[in-house]
Structure 1
Amino acid sequence: MVSHIREVVVDDLDGHSPAQPVAFAYQGRRYRIDLNAANLAAMRRALQPFIDSARPDTTLTPQRRVPRTR
């Protein structure tokens, strides 16, 4: 017997597929959302004026320190 498992990524806003994972950050928090092409384009259009007026953040994110073992 053969079985096939198919994973379908659906848009987190409207449930349509196919969708792709999108990562973004806001106020120091990172987020991931699955969006189809139309919702991804809408997100980009909505954010573009803010991105155009912003400056890149060149500060380094804090690294987790791993304790050394002796």
Structure 2
Amino acid sequence: MAQKVNIELVDDIDGTEAAETVSFALDGAAYEIDLSAENAEALRDEMAVYVETARRVSARRAGRSTRGGARAVSAESRARTQAVRRWARDNGFEVSERGRISNQIAEAYENRESVQEAPGTAAGRRGRKRAG
């Protein structure tokens, strides 16, 4: 049995038939929007002043919001990392001030109701559930 599939683009602004999908990026996030020829032209007209004065970046750097290849870290992520490090130290785990937190520590933190101290500590030898 043969099938014929038709894809119809609908303008995301006004619901009319779309002529194209327009891609753009802002603040490290990439977007696509389906627009009619009229709305696509309006978008390009509005952005023209910014595009004309902006620096063009390679596709490899597009979307990156920091220099030197470092990842942008949200305040929420940073606060969680600090909490994990603080918890780990308080519970006898060895954890560095910077860098990646080991999977063992991350898992122990997630299961912290049942893990009170690091393996090898007094609490760990008394039969409490240990990370590992």
What TM-score, normalized to structure 2? 0.41
The one-letter amino acid paired with 1:40 is A
Distance of 1:28 and 1:2 partners within structure 2: 43
Q: Which has the higher helix share?
A: 2
Q: Which structure carries more strand by proportion?
A: 1
Q: CA offset at residue 20 of structure 1?
A: 1.4
Over the aligned positions, Cα root-mean-square deviation in angstroms equals 2.4
Equivalent residue number for residue 30 of structure 2: 30
Instruction: Quote the Cα distance in structure 1 between the aligned partners of 2:59 and 2:31.
Output: 19
Deviation at 1:4, TM superposition (A): 4.6
Match of 1:40 in 2: 40
Q: Partners in 1 of 2:44 and 2:14 — Cα distance?
A: 17
Per-residue CA deviation, residues 8-39 of structure 1 (Å, 9 max, x unaligned), is 11100001113311111001100111001000
Secondary structure of the equivalent of 1:17? Answer: coil
Query: What stretches of structure 1 move > 4 A for 4+ residues in a row?
Result: 1-4
What TM-score comes out, normalization by structure 1 length?
0.71
Residue ranges of structure 1 left out of the alignment (5+ in a row): 63-70
Q: Distance between the aligned counterparts of 1:51 and 1:10, measured in 2?
A: 26
SS of the residue corresponding to residue 44 of structure 2 reads helix
Q: Between Structure 1 and Structure 2, whose CA radius of gyration is higher?
A: 2
Tell me, which stretches of 5 or more residues in structure 2 are unaligned? 65-132
